[in-house]
Structure 1
């Protein structure tokens, strides 16, 4: 049978699943950022099932030193959590967040999408521009859709970088204060009454004498 007799469909057959797994593995290994299934499909040959390849590859990596983890709607190769201590010499000290920044971040994470006015209502104090700018610069929050309310205020939501930093699949798996302190992102707050109500904190925000926003 000559080339003219070969069914045209064979030219578009997807590679074997084992080869698709190798492709996904190569892309995730080379990417500094998590990669979505849609992005994987655009890189892989026509007919490939990137979603299935990811599932199979994830199972293949179970119990290994690195794992295939989900970050929001994307996937990445990350060190197994129980081996994180081996990387301590390689880690860079993360800039610690102020009380105002951590409370603002927590409110955004737990209530997203949320407006500045709603953040201020929950905290009981005004939110300085510097606090929001810091979180935006760290790429832990971003602007969301505008609310369909008078004035069309902009909203804030957490980013995939925030989820990736804490090893979360989604905002439903948010850490509590203990995890944040363990990560060195939250300074110990002064005991109740140490800072008189009405005195500005380190971000220039005025504390209205509110109690702790979150409990351990």
Structure 2
């Protein structure tokens, strides 16, 4: 049977946001609670369980049992901002897939570093999509299901079109003007 002291100490430690000293536990548990006895009883009760009361630096808290810590260990990833080159490359792949590195570079007008594609593949948004049946057999790239999920798309058909981008104010006015100039002069014969 669990005693009053053990229950009171357990409740205080469970509800605490941070590890507590014995005096803080005593203040929270109230008068008449033998904190030392409660902590000893808790340690015995929790010996075979998934969490244990532990003391670190004079402060008590519940901690995952050492043999189960690997279950709760999380890889903490700091969100990284994509570089402009990575964003442009991702957009080119999404709109033109499957596309080779040379085609990406031709559209962007500059070479891309290998690291740019690596970052997009590590994010799970881009994958190798086979090789072109042309001399040199260049590797092509395409987007993944993870890309669609991350950006809330059901399929590539849901990507915004030029009018959607313009309406959202996402096209640079200079780029927009250049696109119109290319469209107007592209169809004329010299």
Normalising by the smaller structure, the TM-score range is 0.3 to 0.5
TM normalised by structure 2 equals 0.44
Higher helix share goes to which structure? 2
Q: Which has the larger radius of gyration?
A: 2
TM normalised by structure 1 equals 0.39
Which structure has more relative contact order (CA 8 Å, sep 6+)? It is 1
